[in-house]
Chain A
Amino acid sequence: MPKNPHDSDVIFIKALAELLNENDLTELQVKRDYGENDSLNVRVSRKQEVAAHIAMPAAAMPAPAAAAPVAEEATGPADDPANNPGAVTSPMVGTVYMQAEPGSPSFVNVGDQVSEGDTLLIVEAMKTMNHIPAPRAGTVKRILVEDGAAVEYGSPLMIIE
């Protein structure tokens, strides 16, 4: 062991990072107890691209759980909007609002041209209004959610082509 605890920690963390890559892991968390009230917590992780082919429950919630896996298959991956290359999916769980406040016009309508970064809609979670920006410029082809709908992580919101 190197004399300096800092050096040994660095070596330890490097070894963890190698372990992560070699075993194709996403995340690795280790706690080392050096003694009472002296410990080191390390978490090494790498972001995984969420593959578009991961099956999302097609219907809005609540989905009948017992039948859920069957229902997903029945819908079929072919016409699942989540598989559409133009799909914009929800980055979080929450409630959808199509306009800035009740009575205001919708942020976008089908057929609108949008620029990258334009607000498409709001997902409210924990009383926080999260503006969902257009990931790219294009035309709004379909809007897949209604005002006030509940969405989960990965739910398709719109198709922009």
Chain B
Amino acid sequence: MFEKILIANRGEIALRVIRAAREMGIQTVAVHSTADSDAMHVRMADESVCIGPPSGTDSYLSIPAIIAACEVTGAQAIHPGYGFLSENANFVQIVEDHDLAFIGPTAEHIRIMGDKITAKDTMRNLGVPCVPGSDGGVPTLSEAKKLGEEMGYPVIIKATAGGGGRGMKVAQNADEMEHAFMTARSEGKAAFGNDEVYIEKYLTTPRHIEIQVFGDGKGKAVHLGERDCSLQRRHQKVFEEAPGPSITPEERDRIGKVCADAVARIDYAGAGTIEFLYENGEFYFIEMNTRLQVEHPVTEVIFGVDLVREQIRVAEGLPMSFTQDDLVINGHAIEVRINAEKLPEFSPRPGTITQFHAPGGLGVRMDSALYDGYKIPPYYDSLIAKLIVHGRDRASALARLNRALSELIVDGVDTTVPLFHALLQEPDILSGEYNIHWLEHWLETNLQD
């Protein structure tokens, strides 16, 4: 059993880990840069170590500093949070070589999932559905048309050597195939000196659906349903919910079992997320995140579990505290990410918080490292709070989100809170009918002044 763990992170996720550890009776060590000496995670931990100057590269990403901080404090394990070193296989290897425990998967699993091609091959072999495509180059038009019929239009033809949007053409139907195929080939030839092309199914309006999995590292694994994270701006999620409004219980059971079985077969340890594009009832694997996700609380709330506690248990070699049959969905949860950013351009706004009041009441959870007088430093990301609401159903969760947002006070800096007030007026948000392009389109038409 661990007596003391070190948290190699900052902000709300460092608090999240400290809270779980404290409930388990485990001592905590916070690490921090000189810019974070007064940060909440430093105040809340049992001990703290200054590991470097403000730049993340020289502090929260400095492997020698973090290992040395474990050595001088006697911490036995490291929780990496998300971001920073959480998916750095080299770091995990060094942690293990120093006889410390890493609260997360093995270096090998992180390495496999960190490489796009290896990850896709591995997942396909484990039975996880991937975007259908040609195995390598497609030399002739007749072969291209045959593939188009097989996987169903639209398809995208990509130059093997391509990049930057060149040598990529979409064919909406068989009639467009000839033109698209020839154009992709000639663009590939002109731009990269190589006319080889490959073909993939093209998804027009997919949703981003991700499956939370959890393994004990010894061949047992469960899934905790899906999160719909389709509302994104520049590939950054801003609003997440669970269960996904478009997913049926049958679909959840089917894809969930596929994912749980896949990670069980590789003896995966701890929390992981398998991300999919979802369109017309089909799931297409994008990538696997081998860590706790920012949006993990929506899953915790509907299943009534503490994922960080489970991570720590599994790292200690204990079994998971639940089985698949124990995991039953209760109600609906929504998370919004509140950033210190000025709309409409979403430019970061570091500064001093003159007044902070967190919303409360039934079904409201606020994960934040803010406090009155806190100075948001300019060196790190702009996420300052996650507001998570839980209701008996989607409609009551939306009403609760509206109510909680109206209670929240963050004065002194600009935040993205007005975005959520505006989104809650949108019929598509209220009905749950959105896809990965919805928010970008909405921002273009609604936030241009």
Taking Cβ atoms with an 8 Å cutoff, the residues of A that contact B are 5, 24-27, 34-38, 43, 45, 47-48, 50, 54-57, 61-66, 68-69, 72, 92-95, 125-126, 128, 150-155
Contacts and interface: CB of A to CB of B under 8 A. Distances in A.
A26 B38 contact: no
Interface in B46-69: 46-57, 59, 64-65, 67-69
Nearest to A90: B50
B357 interface: no
A10 to B, nearest CB: 15
B-side interface mostly: mixed
Contacts of A25: 378
Given A27-B55, A92-B64, 17 more contacts: A26-B54, A35-B168, A38-B162, A54-B34, A57-B50, A61-B49, A62-B73, A72-B37, A93-B49, A93-B68, A94-B72, A95-B68, A95-B71, A95-B72, A126-B68, A153-B53, A153-B65
Contact of A54 (B37, B43, B162): B37
A151 to B, nearest CB: 8
B164 interface: yes
Nearest to A69: B38
Contacts of A35: 158, 162-165, 168
A48 B168 contact: no
18 contacts: A26-B55, A26-B378, A38-B162, A45-B57, A50-B34, A56-B50, A57-B37, A57-B50, A62-B47, A63-B48, A66-B44, A69-B38, A93-B51, A95-B72, A125-B67, A125-B68, A150-B72, A155-B50
B5 to A, nearest CB: 14
A128 B163 CA distance: 43
B421 interface: no
A5 B71 contact: no
Interface residues of B, number: 40
Contacts of A92: 52, 64-65, 68
Interface string B211-245: 00000000000000000000000000000000000
A38 B68 contact: no
Contacts of B163: 5, 34-35, 38
A59 to B, nearest CB: 11
B48 A68 contact: yes
B257 to A, nearest CB: 28
B30 A65 contact: yes
Contact of A152 (B49, B67, B378): B49
A150 B73 contact: yes
Given A35-B162, A38-B164, A93-B49, A26 B379 contact: yes
A152 B50 contact: yes
Nearest to B67: A126
A-side interface mostly: loop
A19 B55 CA distance: 17
A68 B42 contact: yes
A95 B74 CA distance: 12
Contacts of B65: 92-93, 125, 153
B51 A153 contact: yes
B288 to A, nearest CB: 16
Contacts of B146: none
B98 interface: yes
Nearest to B63: A126
Contacts of A150: 72-73
Given A26-B378, A50-B34, A61 B73 contact: yes
Residue among A5, A34, A62 with max Cβ neighbours from chain B (10 Å): A62
Contact of A65 (B47, B64, B168, B379): B47
Contacts of A38: 162-164
Contact of A27 (B30, B46, B57): B57
A39 to B, nearest CB: 8
Nearest to B31: A93
B429 interface: no
A27 B379 contact: yes
A153 B57 contact: no
B342 to A, nearest CB: 12
A26 B164 CA distance: 28
B45 to A, nearest CB: 5
B124 interface: no
A101 to B, nearest CB: 19
A153 B43 CA distance: 18
Nearest to A55: B37
B42 to A, nearest CB: 6
Contact of A63 (B47, B53, B116): B47
Contacts of A37: 116-117
Contact of A36 (B48, B53, B116): B116
Interface in B8-62: 30, 34, 37-38, 42-57, 59
Contacts of A47: 55
